Homo-oligomer: A and B are copies of this chain.
Amino acid sequence: MPIVHITRRERFCASHRLARPDWSDAKNLEVFGKCSNPNGHGHNYVLWVTVAGQQDPETSFVTDLSLLSRIIKEHVIDQLDHKNIDLDVPFMKGRYSSTENLCVAIWEQLQGPVSALGVQLKTVKVEETENNYAEYHGE
């Protein structure tokens, strides 16, 4: 059977601040710029999750998209949407809320449940603004 890639898009609206707690506000401003504003800022993040697998001979599906969507919602979106990433999100505890860290952390959240579907997690892509996005391929 052919191997097909399937991508699901989900969205979350969250606030965050880029700053190291062991640095002064001045140092944080120097390194993280306007992203280190002490009271934070926020984004409409867009998440694309790509999985790959052989088509199921019965349904021709790689995987049930509504099931994939439910997994992403449960393990990622419900924890991030309308939240403060730095304060409210257990799986981001101890990591700065950079787009890079979000990508890797979301990958870690999804790898188990996606594998349990019998498909392979290929890419987690997080768009922060229309001009910037990060991708993690598990390497």
Contact = CB atoms under 8 A, between A and B. Distances in A.
A42 B39 contact: no
Contact of A15 (B11, B15, B81, B99): B15
A interface majority secondary structure: mixed
A31 B31 CA distance: 38
Interface string A25-62: 00000011111010111111000000000010011111
Contact of A135 (B7, B40, B135): B7
Copies per assembly: 6
A104 interface: yes
Given A34-B82, A40-B42, A84-B37, A60 B95 contact: yes
Looking at A9, A37, A60, A134, which has the most chain B CB atoms within 10 Å of its CB?
A60
Interface of A: 2-11, 13-16, 20, 31-35, 37, 39-44, 55, 58-62, 65-66, 69, 81-84, 87-88, 95-96, 98-101, 103-104, 129-137, 139
